[in-house]
Structure 1
Amino acid sequence: MARSAKKNEDESYDARHLSVLSGLEAVRKRPGMYIGTTDTRGLMHCLWEVIDNSVDEALGGYGSTIDITLYADGSVTVADEGRGIPVDIEPRTGLSGVEVVMTKLHAGGKFGGGSYAAAGGLHGVGASVVNALSARLDVEVTRGSKVHRMSFRRGEPGRFDDSSGQLSADNPFTPFTEPTPLDVVGKAKRGATGTKVRYWADPQIFLPDAEFQYSELADRARQTAFLIPGLGIRVTDERGVVRDENGEIVQTRTEEFRYEGGISEFVDHLAADPIITDVWRLDGEGTFTETVPVLGEDGRMVSQDVTRDVAVDIALRWGTGFETKLKSFVNIIATPKGGTHVAGFEQSLLKTVRKAVDANARKLKVGKDKLEKDDVLAGLTAVVTVRLAEPQFEGQTKEVLGTAAVKRIVAQTVEKQLSAQLDSSHRQTKAQAGRLLEKVVSEMKARISARTHRENQRRKTALESSSLPAKLYDCRVSDHEDTELFIVEGDSAMGTAKAARDSEHQALFPIRGKILNVQKASVADMLANTECSALIQVVGAGAGRSFAVDQARYGKVIIMTDADVDGAHIRTLLLTLFFRYMRPLVEAGRVFAAVPPLHRVEVVTGRGKPNEVIYTYSEAELNALLAKLVKQKKTYKEPIQRYKGLGEMDADQLAETTMDPALRSLRRVTMADAEAAEHTFALLMGSEVAPRKEFIVAGAAALDAERIDA
């Protein structure tokens, strides 16, 4: 009986087992619900919440400068010239406006009432969430010619003892036991207003390795400055700076972003490829009605039909590349995962361009094939912005817009404005529209061609024939995980490589000379080029947007070129091809560059023993080796063999230094920074000559003349 009673007691579950979290306790208990994660990404999200409050003031026309400072102690300050948080007493709570905003969830000026026509902060939890997750937060508000101040510790208002002269989250803290007005800590110029927030993230909440990322902050500041023409955002980083003997800062990192061109300038900044069209602006307005709860004068929520105004502003241009760069924003808040505004944009874009292509089908030789969305998006750089009051987002992180009516309004704007551009009789615009239609049709044909390649070119079996290039020396194993494709420069090296390879796992594909520079060429030219087409065929996974990395026929692709200037040029051309048309293979870390040696040093051992052979891979390594041998009083055969090409090695030497997995060294080609890589390829291989000339001149002094094979 006692055992049965214990069992019933364990299984009981009633109201006394429920926990009710009030105020900011819920935020500290479940921070992921409000900021996503507690690592660097969540830490940065907290900073965005504070910055967005200042940006909303600038968006409403209050203030033209925002200052953001990162300090060495891990704290951060955001200061603006907005109206300042209200400092008077909020009648329902009896607390100051600052304390209400900083400690009450879903409290603020963005729930209607005309304080903000369009804002990024919508849920009224941003500032209070940051406060709850901070070991210390200080807020200073300038209003009415006074500077008001209040401090918080993990969301609780009070005062810190800063008598030591050092602001710190570890200073003694005295919490308030009853509603307390703000401290007045200074005077301000007449008419001056603003809010300054400094906070220390709570180490009890965030992971030890979470830290503010300056590059990410600078990118966000630059992006916001583009979206609000005339707004200046200054970012200062004082972490790890140099200080003099008096402790004064003598070196900081500061950038200021201010742009007058708006999103047109933003598109120019994002786009890297040569232009097909100028930047086109598509803008319009629309309205819709929705039923929303509105806060009445009696403090109760009442459902009411409200008419919403939606402003659409889009900047876009097409270039010769096939990558798509699409940035979307709602009230200057980035929506990286899109939403209804992006869906309306893409849907109408495809519909409008399809209509224009159908009208010119005979001229463009379209046939019965149909454009798909990817054909139209190829080479597109666009910034899509919408502004409306109280948009509906999916979650506090605001990554997806959910307001359904926006899709229709954006689609109508794009259809009307883009049709006008494509049907324009203006000479320059008409020529650009013609080039655009030719490009999208070319992309469609390239997609169909690449898909055919991928479907038809699969590894041959005993029962099927192969149409792979005749010059491919394939391996015998069919499991791509253990196979390697060596792309070999020249026929002379190919002869040595055939004898040096492991034919079970290593395939060889020779190329003659320098392949097409695909950074400058069109998709059609690339597919028409024999070497490029054969390489895509050999890899067997398609090209461009249709590339399927899981269909690649080899586990590794290794570029094996001579260790001279021509070899480096050929390697760059090949990497350009992989970067532009087989990028997922690079992203997966499956593209490598072989590292053949530059020198062969034969050290004389004497006493009937075979001489020791040492390979070096640079001039510096060779000089260090020779100095070491002289110091050890060892002799070596002269002249030292300098390999100018892979064909100068015999099969054993090539296998030992470059092809044998147990002995060789490979250089993995990575995509750690795709945008930086794209910039480098555009610099080295693009059509702009002047920047490349500057790069060559700047690096000329570091070039060893002996490396030039002339």
Structure 2
Amino acid sequence: MSVRPISLLKIRHRPAGVAFVVSRSTASKDEYSARHLQVLEGLEAVRKRPGMYIGSTDGRGLMHCLWEIIDNSVDEALAGVGERIDVILHGDGSVEVRDRGRGIPIDIEPRTGLTGVEVAMTKLHAGGKFGGGSYTASGGLHGVGASVVNALSSRLDIEVDRAGKTYGMSFRRGEPGIFKGEGPDAPFEPFVNGSELRVVGKAKRGVTGTRTRYWADPHIFMKDAEFDYEGLVGRARQTSFLIPGLELAIRDERRLPNTPGADGPHEETFKHDGGISEFTEFLASDPAVTEVWRLEGTGTFTETVPVLDDQGHMTPTEVERECGVDVALRWGTGYDTKVRSFVNIIATPKGGTHLAGFEQALLKVFRKQLEVNARRLKVGNDKVDKDDILAGLTAVITVRLAEPQFEGQTKEVLGTSAVRQIVAKVVETELTARLTSTKRDDKAQSALLLDKVVAEMKSRISARLHKETQRRKTALESSSLPGKLKDCRSTDVSRTELFIVEGDSALGTGMAARNSEYQALLPIRGKILNVQKASVGDMLKNAECAAIIQVIGAGSGRTFDVDLARYGKVILMTDADVDGAHIRTLLLTLFFRYMRPLVEAGRVYAAMPPLHRIEVAASGRAKGEVIYTYTEDQMRKTIGDFQRKGRTIKQPQRYKGLGEMDADQLAETTMEPRHRTLRRVTLADAERAETVFELLMGSDVAPRKEFLVSSADQLDTERIDA
């Protein structure tokens, strides 16, 4: 049937399962008829509109195809069959997935007359996950995963081990046939009269499994789309947590630059027996307030689903479903929230009914517990919010049920409505039992947790009240700020700078060196509290930490609002010695944990005061000079250069602290914008930065000791004041 181009018109009715394509032109509307419609059947619709099935045709869509094949193998492991899955990124651009499951059925499917392998790989909405009893719970729902990958591949080879034999079949863009050679460019001969599932080898007795290798079609996917090794490793690690005992091996043979396999084949294997409890520990990075608590339970619900009867009619039928709920959660001292949700081990990054039920139960349980303990906790009439409870929470939420309803093929949101109440009931029952337990450990952890939630609530309320006041205090109200703050006169946030200085001696020199129009000074006494190990309450009680947060004026933790910050720059001005570096680290820990948006905005700096002052005497026509150096090597090089020129060097002056400089020297080297050197603090990799902070400042001593011992030979002993 030929298709004439016509103007694009609205189609009001479209039979299910058929895609219509209409071209745009300037033809008259009167010429529009049924013969202008193009019917896309089967996998042709997938190739015409791939975004409907895999989301996009860039690297994300390429990875989605791979997840579909891997998830089929994972579903076998979820059903209790197969203990290992291998994923191999070959050097020729193909990817291969091997499992030791039951193997795709090889017998004839009666309705189509095709083998189970061909049905699974070529027919949309065909599979073993539609209530046929093959899978009680699986990640698949729509039955389009393998067939869509097949349609979008320039070549796909599949081998199945069953009944002592190995069966093989090949496809080109979804069409079965035979390749005469290796790779996707080999000559291809499609089947004409009938397709054939060939016996290509022998399998060991009792061995079953499926091997799928495919080449993504370059006509479909963008030129720069490629498999993300790190994303693949992350998904494999995640799956190994969700299915205890399952071993997943990822092997990269591509030799791509800047990848772990750049110098040769690289393989990583993941296997975890601790389940989601171990997963929660892996995700958590802050010191624990509670241990990992496990909340488990089941519930049943009834739903009406269309079932194909023997006459080929879709009949609405009521079926009873069972939903298993398994939640692992722990609270830490931080305020970041990490919640991962899964349905039959399929990640749901955008949540759904299971996550909604979890959050609903959390809020209900904690409000009730705070009401019961109101007098001890001094709650008053304030109401706890969801964000107060989620602060510092790390949780993994999993539900298992047959035929889950997702919103879209990408399976990012669970839509089965009955799951919400089941999850809410399980979490409410189990969490209440934990919080009211009379066991000594549970009781102590529950008390700490309720204290933390109340502290978060009070911090949020305090921040809200602060937002309702003016950003700048009037002269009458200025006494509410710490008395030791030496504020500036300007109210232009884009110009103002807050110097946090070490000690009163540095404050005195800084007062004389600053430009009071836009530079403010806040002195701190010694080393502030290590907030990486302290609780939120302890941090707020600490005078130095509280003063810094109050002066900056934007709140703290999750309530921090960078737009309310009173200064455009915050500059940490500490001595250029080991103690000064330690104080700077403690300050950065405070900013990282409780005022991170200020760091992310690039508004936190470290001043770079010099270590030495070198005075060069006048010689002939050469005038005398004063040179500042910042390292021992730089000092020695500078002195050597002048001595080779025959210049006389007076005894270099070494500064042990900012207080040893006079005001002119401090202004010239550290405070005056035209001459100073500032080092901006950035968070290019927040996860890595958090790991370093936890190593250096956390409560776990053993890793820090190992780091110190291994790094001892790099210590510059000249920088230690002794």
TM-score (norm 2): 0.88
Aligned to 1:422: 435
Partner AA of 2:248 in structure 1:
I
C-alpha deviation, 1:272, in angstroms? 2.9
Tell me if structure 1 keeps the 8 A contact 2:642–2:649: no
Aligned to 1:245: none
Aligned to 1:484: 497
CA distance in 1 between counterparts of 2:482 and 2:470 reads 11
Q: 1:261 to 1:461 in 2, by over 3 A?
A: same
CA distance in 2 between counterparts of 1:697 and 1:598 reads 27
Aligned to 1:699: 711
1:403 matches 2:416: yes
CA distance in 2 between counterparts of 1:27 and 1:612 reads 76
1:189-588 correspondence to structure 2 within 5 Å = 189-240=204-255, 251-456=264-469, 458-460=471-473, 465=478, 467-588=480-601
1:674 matches 2:693: no
Counterpart among 35, 56, 79 of residue 60 in structure 1? 79
Q: Is 655-664 or 119-128 further displaced after alignment?
A: 655-664
Q: 1:628 to 1:427 in 2, by over 3 A?
A: same
Any idea what the Cα deviations from partners look like across 1:471-518, whole Å, max 9, x if unmatched? 333344434344433322333433444455454444333322211111
Partner AA of 2:206 in structure 1:
G
Matched residue SS, 2:40: coil
Partner AA of 1:701 in structure 2:
D
Counterpart among 139, 158, 163 of residue 120 in structure 1? 139
CA distance in 2 between counterparts of 1:642 and 1:262 reads 57
Tell me if structure 2 keeps the 8 A contact 1:539–1:553: yes
C-alpha deviation, 1:102, in angstroms? 2.4
1:593 matches 2:606: yes
Tell me if structure 2 keeps the 8 A contact 1:140–1:148: yes
Q: 1:491 to 1:111 in 2, by over 3 A?
A: same
1:66-81 correspondence to structure 2 within 5 Å = 66-81=85-100
Partner AA of 1:193 in structure 2:
T
Tell me if structure 1 keeps the 8 A contact 2:156–2:215: yes
Partner AA of 1:681 in structure 2:
F
Q: 1:21 to 1:708 in 2, by over 3 A?
A: farther
CA distance in 1 between counterparts of 2:67 and 2:635 reads 52
CA distance in 2 between counterparts of 1:525 and 1:409 reads 38
CA distance in 2 between counterparts of 1:540 and 1:33 reads 48
Any idea what the Cα deviations from partners look like across 1:251-306, whole Å, max 9, x if unmatched? 54322221222112222222233333332221111111111112223444222111
Aligned to 2:57: 38
CA distance in 2 between counterparts of 1:621 and 1:181 reads 77
CA distance in 2 between counterparts of 1:582 and 1:249 reads 39
Partner AA of 2:715 in structure 1:
L
Tell me if structure 2 keeps the 8 A contact 1:146–1:187: yes
Partner AA of 2:268 in structure 1:
E
Matched residue SS, 2:349: coil
Aligned to 2:5: none
CA distance in 2 between counterparts of 1:99 and 1:563 reads 72
CA distance in 2 between counterparts of 1:643 and 1:134 reads 68
Matched residue SS, 2:71: helix
CA distance in 2 between counterparts of 1:159 and 1:643 reads 80
CA distance in 1 between counterparts of 2:614 and 2:28 reads 83
C-alpha deviation, 1:219, in angstroms? 2.1
Tell me if structure 1 keeps the 8 A contact 2:616–2:650: no
Any idea what the Cα deviations from partners look like across 1:419-470, whole Å, max 9, x if unmatched? 2222223333233323322332233233323433444462235796562223
Tell me if structure 1 keeps the 8 A contact 2:639–2:649: no
Aligned to 2:19: none
Any idea what the Cα deviations from partners look like across 1:36-94, whole Å, max 9, x if unmatched? 33333333222222211111010001101111222344432221111112233434334
Tell me if structure 2 keeps the 8 A contact 1:457–1:537: no
Tell me if structure 1 keeps the 8 A contact 2:617–2:650: no
Q: Is 70-79 or 654-663 further displaced after alignment?
A: 654-663
Aligned to 1:136: 155
Counterpart among 119, 122, 147 of residue 103 in structure 1? 122
Q: Is 493-502 or 378-387 further displaced after alignment?
A: 493-502
Q: Is 27-36 or 516-525 further displaced after alignment?
A: 27-36
CA distance in 2 between counterparts of 1:213 and 1:619 reads 45
C-alpha deviation, 1:123, in angstroms? 1.4
Matched residue SS, 2:419: helix
Q: Is 302-311 or 130-139 further displaced after alignment?
A: 130-139
C-alpha deviation, 1:14, in angstroms? 5.6
Partner AA of 1:76 in structure 2:
V
CA distance in 2 between counterparts of 1:488 and 1:86 reads 73
C-alpha deviation, 1:355, in angstroms? 1.6
Tell me if structure 2 keeps the 8 A contact 1:102–1:155: yes
CA distance in 1 between counterparts of 2:265 and 2:382 reads 58
CA distance in 2 between counterparts of 1:315 and 1:648 reads 55
Tell me if structure 1 keeps the 8 A contact 2:255–2:264: no
Aligned to 2:41: 22
Aligned to 2:200: 185
CA distance in 1 between counterparts of 2:669 and 2:185 reads 58
C-alpha deviation, 1:649, in angstroms? 4.5
Q: 1:146 to 1:604 in 2, by over 3 A?
A: farther
Aligned to 1:689: 701
Partner AA of 1:154 in structure 2:
R
Q: 1:697 to 1:15 in 2, by over 3 A?
A: same
Partner AA of 1:113 in structure 2:
G
Partner AA of 1:509 in structure 2:
L
Q: 1:653 to 1:31 in 2, by over 3 A?
A: farther
C-alpha deviation, 1:8, in angstroms? 7.5
Matched residue SS, 1:225: helix
Matched residue SS, 1:200: strand
Tell me if structure 2 keeps the 8 A contact 1:457–1:466: no
CA distance in 1 between counterparts of 2:138 and 2:234 reads 20
Q: 1:642 to 1:404 in 2, by over 3 A?
A: same
C-alpha deviation, 1:415, in angstroms? 1.6
Measured on the aligned residues, the alpha-carbon RMSD in Å equals 3.1
Matched residue SS, 2:356: helix
Partner AA of 1:195 in structure 2:
T
CA distance in 1 between counterparts of 2:611 and 2:178 reads 68
Q: 1:169 to 1:566 in 2, by over 3 A?
A: farther
Q: 1:7 to 1:284 in 2, by over 3 A?
A: closer
C-alpha deviation, 1:329, in angstroms? 0.9
Partner AA of 1:484 in structure 2:
E
Aligned to 2:9: none
Q: 1:191 to 1:360 in 2, by over 3 A?
A: same
CA distance in 1 between counterparts of 2:50 and 2:633 reads 53
